Amino acid sequence: MSGAMGEPNALAMLFFFVFIAASLGITWFAARRTKTTEDFYAAGRSVTAVQNGLALAGDYMSAASFLGIAGLVALSGFDGLIYSIGFLVGWPVVLCLIAEPLRNLGRYTFADVVAFRLQQRPVRVASAFGGLAVIAFYLIAQMVGAGNLIRLLFGLSYEMAVIIVGGVMLAYVLFGGMLATTWVQIVKAVLLMSGAAMLALLVLAQYAFNPLALFADAAAKFGPSVLAPGRLVSDPIDAISLGIALMFGTAGLPHILMRFYTVPDARTARVSVAYATAAIGLFYLFTFILGFGAMVIVGQDAIRAIDAGGNMAAPLLAEAVGGQAFLGFIAAVAFATILAVVAGLTLAGAAALSHDIWVSVVRRGHADGGEQLLVARGATILLALVSILLGIAFKGQNVAYMVGLAFAIAASANFPALLLSMFWKPFTTAGAVASIVVGTASALLLIYFSPTIQIDLLKHTSALVPLRNPGIISIPLSFVVGIVVSLAMPEAEAAAKFAATERQLHLGEEA
Amino acid sequence: MPSTSPSNHAALESLAAARWRIGLGLTAAMTGIYVVFILLIAYGKGFLGTLLAPGLSVGIALGVLVILAAWALILVYVRWANDHYDREVAAIRGGRR
């Protein structure tokens, strides 16, 4: 291998600047059309099904999907595919249970739906808390990933990379709101899909376009065990725990849920999930090829030599099959991927702070459009600064567990409250608050006392909790607490509003 | 608040129940397929490592099938909703006016 990794790569820089220039152009265009809160949070509800499908895919496919999974497959074969599959199976849940009711009941945030027939202020505070916890951990993971990656890909310093990501993302969200963020996601999704497809084709070209020949070659070079389950899943309960957190967490991610408000109606929301799942599934099928391709063409030792976690497998593969120019393109795509995900997270966080906390709790719903926009933009600046600071504060920390934690909190805090508020008549304000607080707290505590923190990070000899993934305990616990508290303290008003809720859930607002 | 006739209310109730049944059924199907896949990974390592053809292990074939199953479940729901659910919603809206 040539030693291009970690050196400033002129072509990568060029591709990256083209992407930045194009996305800032989109932002400038979007800024002129972003005048109301409806524009800022929901792109004027004018996004089509295909556009939203791609934007959902863009929001969902983080650098972890692209670089992380390709690396895992390259280093451990079949075991890496378990993640590819786990990240996809949550989408039927989003479609069947969440997308359409959310679109019909809410306006900007998922808290709109939880609070629909309950008391606004306690539910808003709790929901915003659950949402912001998910966003914080997701953001830290992305920012730390961005710093490390960009240092390896472009040779920039870690701090510089974090500041650039934070600054460019701030420009998108602050000026262009949801419209700019949506288009950045669409451009990124198309770039990522086409980059991965090109890479897969270049690999398969060496195997007469037969993926099985590639897998057989991998088995011949690295042993038949690369095509079978290995050590990654040693404890089945832990594996199921991770699996259900990935599944139900997808249906509780604030930045994904927020996307359903950008479309005109429930039918468009529904169809957009089908497009999103098609794109994401196809992308994860590409990761099979990319991972095994990197394993045989680059080689496991060469991948480990650059980055022990394998994160550079896909860029190294791009260099091996397409030369410096293609490496530059793939590096720029990876940078764009992080930028877009961070922008989506920040917008969802700004909506929670301004729409849920400021407008609904502090001002009790009495804030005019101008004030709402001002607060939303202030919250965006605040979140961008916080994410840059967190990115720098967590430099050098192992944050691999944080995306898993974000999914676990999303599945344990947001998903149960969302589902029960929409479909279970006896659900009450106290039940919702208890469910969200217990879901968040139990996920956090279980992770803190898990082997991941106690043994891997703090170097203790044992851990109080044997599970690395809290989902199998925290998700049912959150449901049980929500149900028991609701039954113990009934709320006549919430039950009385259920019929109207059900009506709007199916027929939409104009009904 | 527009007035709603009893038959209109009953139609909405039955539509809500149908949507809930289908949504929950498909979610349970996806969860079941995925949990079985994970259990096979945990307890059926040898079986998943069996080669069906050079390069194609049972594990890889089943992994692709899980992705295809997710697509199929999505297709089932979207078809049901586009054909049946939307028509019912339109009828309930129309019946009220």
Name the domain count of chain A.
1
> Using CA of residue A277, residue A279, residue A283, residue A285, what is the dihedral sign?
positive
Collapsed DSSP state (helix, strand, coil) of residue B51 = strand
pLDDT digits (tens, 9 = 90+) for A207-240: 999 999 999 999 999 998 899 988 766 778 888 8
Query: Strands B51-53 and B56-57, how do they pair?
Result: antiparallel
Q: Does B18 touch chain A (CB under 8 A)?
A: no
Q: What's the pLDDT at B4?
A: 56
pLDDT digits (tens, 9 = 90+) for B38-90: 889 888 888 999 999 999 999 999 999 999 999 999 999 999 999 999 999 99
Mean pLDDT score, A291-310: 91
Q: How sure is the predictor about B5, in pLDDT bands with cuts at 50, 70 and 90?
A: low
Q: Do A85 and B82 touch (CB under 8 A)?
A: no
Nearest CA in chain B to A235: B42
Q: How sure is the predictor about A489, in pLDDT bands with cuts at 50, 70 and 90?
A: very high
CATH code, domain with A243: 1.20.1730.10
Q: What's the pLDDT at A1?
A: 39
pLDDT digits (tens, 9 = 90+) for A148-202: 878 877 788 899 989 999 999 999 999 999 999 999 999 999 999 999 999 999 9
pLDDT digits (tens, 9 = 90+) for A473-486: 999 999 999 999 99
Collapsed DSSP state (helix, strand, coil) of residue B53 = strand
Establish if A307 belongs to a structural domain: yes
DSSP H or E segment with residue A386: helix A369-393
pLDDT digits (tens, 9 = 90+) for A329-375: 888 888 888 889 999 999 999 999 999 999 888 888 888 888 989 99
Rounded-to-10 torsion of CA A191, A197, A203, A206:
-130
What DSSP line would sit under A220-236, residue for residue?
HHH-GGGGS--SS---H
Q: What's the pLDDT at A7?
A: 65
In the structure encoding, which two tokens stand for residue A49, read together? 């099904």
Nearest CA in chain A to B54: A216
A325 burial via Cβ count (<10 Å: 0-12, 13-18, 19+): middle
Nearest to A212 among B27, B55, B67 (CB): B55
Establish if A161 belongs to a structural domain: yes
List the domain range (segments joined by +) for residue A88. Answer: 10-394
Contacting residues of A for B19, CB less than 8 Å apart: 506
Q: Does B82 touch chain A (CB under 8 A)?
A: yes
Q: Do A227 and B92 touch (CB under 8 A)?
A: no
Q: What is the mean pLDDT of chain A?
A: 90
CA distance A216 to A165: 40
Establish if A463 belongs to a structural domain: no
Nearest CA in chain B to A83: B63
Q: What's the pLDDT at A91?
A: 96
Q: Does B45 touch chain A (CB under 8 A)?
A: yes
Establish if A431 belongs to a structural domain: no
Establish if A497 belongs to a structural domain: no
Categorise residue A47: left if φ over 0, alpha if ψ from -120 to 50, beta otherwise: beta
CA distance A413 to A433: 10
Query: Of A499, A261, A506, which Cα lies nearest the Cα of B87?
Result: A506
* CA–CA distances in Å: residue A357 to residues A146, A302, A342, A467: 29, 50, 21, 34
Contact present, A482 and A431 (Cβ < 8 Å): yes
What DSSP line would sit under A426-492, residue for residue?
T--HHHHHHHHHHHHHHHHHHHHTSHIIIIIIT--S--SS--S--HHHHHHHHHHHHHHHHHHS--H
* CA–CA distances in Å: residue A190 to residues A53, A276, A280, A314, A494: 11, 12, 11, 17, 44
In the structure encoding, which two tokens stand for residue B41, read together? 């990974």
Nearest to B70 among A88, A215, A239 (CB): A88
Contacting residues of A for B51, CB less than 8 Å apart: 224, 227
Establish if A238 belongs to a structural domain: yes
Contacting residues of A for B30, CB less than 8 Å apart: 89, 92-93, 247
Q: How sure is the predictor about A387, in pLDDT bands with cuts at 50, 70 and 90?
A: very high
Establish if A437 belongs to a structural domain: no
Mean pLDDT score, A435-454: 92
CA distance A176 to A32: 8
Residue that the structure tokens 């720098």 belong to: A392
Contacting residues of B for A416, CB less than 8 Å apart: none
Establish if A488 belongs to a structural domain: no
Contact present, A162 and A392 (Cβ < 8 Å): yes
Q: What's the pLDDT at A4?
A: 54
DSSP H or E segment with residue A126: helix A120-154
pLDDT digits (tens, 9 = 90+) for A69-78: 899 899 989 9
CA distance A271 to A423: 22
For chain A, what percent of residues have pLDDT higher than 90? Answer: 64
